[in-house]
Structures are given as structure tokens and as C-alpha cells.
Amino acid sequence: MSYATHLRCRECGRCYPLEPVHVCEFCFGPLEVDYDYQALGRDISRQRIERGPLTVWRYGDFLPADREQAVDIGAGFTPLLRAQNLAEALGLRRLYIKNDCANPTWSFKDRVVTVAATKAREFGFDTLACASTGNLANAVAAHAAKAGLQALVFIPADLEQGKIVGSAIYGPTLVAVKGSYDDVNRLCSELSDRYPWAFVNINIRPYYAEGSKTLAYEVLEQLGWRAPDHCIVPMASGSLFTKIWKGIKELAWLGLVDWAHTRMSGAQAEGCSPIVEAWERHSFNIRPVRPKTIAKSLAVGNPADGYYALKVLADSGGFAVAVSDDEVVEGMKLLAETEGIFAETAGGVVIAGLRRLAAQGHIQPDELVVAFITGAGLKTQEAVLDRLVPCLVIEPHLASFEEAIAGHREAVAAGRHTSRGESHG
Amino acid sequence: MAKQRVKFTFPTELIKEPVIYRLGKQFAVVTNIRRADVTEDRGWVVLELEGEIEEIERGVQWVIDQGVRVDPVPGDIVEG
């Protein structure tokens, strides 16, 4: 069963029944799911959670949808890995990587969409919709296929063919919209008013967003029921960042972990960093930007939850950091070369941000740090294609191999090839 | 009649301009402000526009042409 009781406006506090609505009728503030925490507190225990399935639905008591009816393709319970090599490279001692590349469509969006699809079916919708340039589209198309729902996925008309395949394979209706990024946004807003679809991040957004909390629950359980000292999280709309914080607070309120004063730090790419820019101005007012970065999965110029992300940064004592596209690529390579994890550009943003914060002394060497890697690198291969060591091409005999390998080793020794994220070229 | 919920973000140079008043005067659009934060150097206003859809679209385009950023209330909808 779900302990969700109602929706509450995050601005004026007005309450609404659990329906497919997302803004307050009075102040147009965003709505968020609220729960009967007293009842949840009476029933919940670590053992009860540990008996659950190895997916996000293990934490079904904390989600606003019925676990028994879940649209479940196996999202969640991804590895939490001790990152000893990367820690040493950064001067840290207790670093973990939460590897959400291991989700069914290779990004954390499966967590939010499994909840959104389940809720859409509960509400009686027959169509699941979204507007996306990648990860969200993949997750919506896959979950709609499993749920037997129609899928409508809006994409910018200039999206690369390679990005379309990861959605098209599941058989959605793909609609390529001509026009600017802002045009696509406005059109989708109008469509959601006009058509009776479950638009996952519009009318289903309050439910959808709750799926991100499962990242926090998993990390705390995988650490042996304790909260980290410091989290570093990529920020796009800011929703993931705020929900990880909410998840940590919920488990602490309910006595499942001790309160650890976890600091929440967020990373963005310089080409789209409206949250970091406001944080650096000591302001809670986001100035929208037009995104220009290789970290396309974080390219949200007008972040819906930017204000709330700034509040979490302030409340938790965390830091906001923006990194250049070059640093993003270096971050991707560093993670791959030290820990064997090929993350997408958003992962490069996190690792580059982590490196910056560690170098600046904002992360203490003894802190237990968790870096959240939210999507797999095969989705954004073009970002690193021209920055990799080329392969050795040889004739099919030993002498050719030995000549080539000797030359290669010389080049590595001389620092002409990238190694461990250090200098290259 | 249609309704549209939008967020206007004003650059510094337009803070003193009565853009919302003119929108209501020049177009057959009723403006209904629900939430706002305006200071001397920047500001945003969340409001509902009511009128014929074509008139709302013309009005919104005029607001954009003045230099105001117009977004859907939930922020960016296109996600990665």
C-alpha cells in the first residue's frame, strides 16, 4: 500500500487530493506529494525494506503508487561501489560511486518513470508522454511498452539519429518538433493543457519526481544504514538534487538512520549553470539561460526546481560548482580509467565537480562521499570520440605487433597519451 | 475562451516598463497575476492569460518582442 495522502503546494501550503495535477490553483506554485509519516513510522523497519524486491519498489512504502501494480522493468538497486583508485587520485579516503548506468535504459530516469507510468495507469490514462533529448525519452518509451500504454515522445527536429534509436526501438510515436528549444517547451506546455495524456514531467510531475528519492534510500541501505557525510549530484531541473535530500531526511525522521548532517553539493556544466550562478550571487532568484554545453542531459536553462535546489544547498551547507566542457571530458575519462565506469557527460560533470571541490578543500579527506553517476557513456560517445588514445593498427605478424607496442609504450611513458586523466597531446 | 499560465522574466531595462498593463490594453487578453518577485534590477511574474487562443499567442509574441522571457509555469519541460 502507499502512505501518500495528498498533494501540497510548496509555496502556499494548500492541499489537493491525489490527482493528476501539478500546480496550485491559487498561486500556481508546484505541488509535492505528502505522506502519513505517523502511520509509515509505525509500520516501517529495515527488515521490512530488506524483504522487498531488488528494484526501486523495495521502497514502495515511500512512493505514491501501488507497488502491487507497478510498471516494473527492473529500475533501481544499482551498485554502490567503493572508488579507491579515484579517491587516491583526488586525495580522498572514503569515496563511493552510485552507478545508475546500471538501470534498464541506462540512466536514473527509469526510477522516476517507473513511478510515473504506474501512477498514469492507476489514473486510467492510455498515453504516456514526454519531451526529451535522450534519457527521459528512452525511459518513457520502454516503460510505456511494458505497461501497454501508448507512448508519445517529442524530440527536437535536429536530434542526432543515434539518440533516436534508444527510444524508437520500443515503438513509441516519435514527434520531431522544428524550432528552438524554447518553442518545443511552449508547445509541450500547450499540448499538456489540451490533450488527456499523462505527461510525465508536467501533470504527473509530483509523482514522477518522488522516484528520485530511491537513490537516497538505496545509498543509505547499501552503506549499512547510514547517511553519507557529503553527496555530489548533477543538477539539471534541480529535482533529483532536492529529492535525494528529501529521501535522506525521511529515513532520518523515521529512525532508520542516524542524522548525519549530510552536505549536498551540486554540479552543473558552465554552459548551462543557472543554479550555480544564483548560488554564487547569494541569491534565490534563478536567471534562465540558453544552454550551450556538451552535457545535454543537464541542459535545462530554466530549472523548475532551481529555487528549491538553492534552499537545499543553503540548508545542508553544500557547494555549487560549474565546470567547463573540457573538464567534463576529463572527468569522464578519469572515472573510466580509475574505476572502470563509462559515464555519460553528466557523470563527467559530477567527477569534474568533485575534483574541483576536493582541490579547493571543500571536501575533507576523511568525509564519506558519494558521487552520483546518473547515466551511461555509450549515450554520449561523441563527447569523447576525439579525445581517446587511437588503436594500434598492425600487420598480422609478431614483428609488426612488437614494433607498434614498443612505440605505444614510449608514447605513454613520455606522456603523449592520456593516462589517469592527466595531460595529453 | 482559452487560458494559459506563463512566467514572465524581466531584464533590468524593462523593470520600469508597464508591459503587463500594455498587454491587456493592446490585446484582448485578461491578465491575472498569481505570484511575483520584482526588485529594482530584475523580476519575474507568474500569471494567467485568458482570451481567444490566437489573441493570447499574438500577445505573448508581442511580450517576447519587447525583450521579456516567456516560459511555461513548470519551467523547462524538455529534459535530457
Please compute the mean of the pLDDT values over residues A65-78 and round it to a whole number. 97
Average pLDDT of the residues of chain A: 94
Instruction: Give A-chain residues touching B44 at CB under 8 angstroms.
Output: 285
Instruction: Give B-chain residues touching A29 at CB under 8 angstroms.
Output: 35
Instruction: Give B-chain residues touching A298 at CB under 8 angstroms.
Output: 80
Do A103 and A113 fall into the same domain?
no
Strand pairing of A127-131 and A230-234?
Answer: unpaired
d(Cα B5, Cα B68) in Å, to the nearest integer? 15
Do A379 and A425 fall into the same domain?
no
DSSP A393-416: ---SSHHHHHHHHHHHHHHHHTT-
Do A19 and A91 fall into the same domain?
no
Give me the CATH number covering residue A133: 3.40.50.1100
Do A51 and A145 fall into the same domain?
yes
Domain that holds residue A408: 389-425
Do A144 and A286 fall into the same domain?
no
Do A236 and A363 fall into the same domain?
yes
Whether A179 has a pLDDT exceeding 90, the answer reads no
Question: For residue A89, what is its C-alpha cell?
Answer: 587520485
A304 contacts B74? CB cut-off 8 A: yes
Do A203 and A227 fall into the same domain?
no
Count Cβ–Cβ pairs < 8 Å, chain A vs chain B. 99
Of A175, A208, A241, which marks where a domain is finished?
A208
* ipTM greater than 0.85: yes
Least confident range of A81-90, A107-116, A185-194, A291-300: A185-194
Do A98 and A202 fall into the same domain?
no
Distance from CA of A105 to the nearest CA of B (A): 13
Instruction: Give B-chain residues touching A193 at CB under 8 angstroms.
Output: 4
Do A419 and A324 fall into the same domain?
no
Judged by a CB distance cut-off of 8 A, whether residue A21 touches chain B is no
Do A268 and A149 fall into the same domain?
no
Cα–Cα separations (whole angstroms), residue A213 to A45, A209, A294: 17, 8, 27
Please compute the mean of the pLDDT values over residues A248-258 and round it to a whole number. 98
By the 8 A CB rule, do B2 and B51 touch? yes
Which residues 34-63 of B are in CB contact (within 8 Å) with A? 34-35, 37, 42, 44, 46, 48
Q: Where are the domains of chain B?
A: 2-72
pTM over 0.80: yes
User: What is the total count of domains within chain A?
Assistant: 3
Do A32 and A99 fall into the same domain?
no
B75 contacts A156? CB cut-off 8 A: no
Judged by a CB distance cut-off of 8 A, whether residue B15 touches chain A is no
By the 8 A CB rule, do A329 and A323 touch? no
Of A184, A208, A232, which marks where a domain is finished?
A208
pLDDT in tens, A232-252: 999 999 999 999 999 999 999
pLDDT of A46 reads 98
CATH top-level class for B2-72? Answer: alpha beta
Do A298 and A395 fall into the same domain?
no
Strand pairing of A198-199 and A80-82?
Answer: unpaired
d(Cα A381, Cα A377) in Å, to the nearest integer? 6
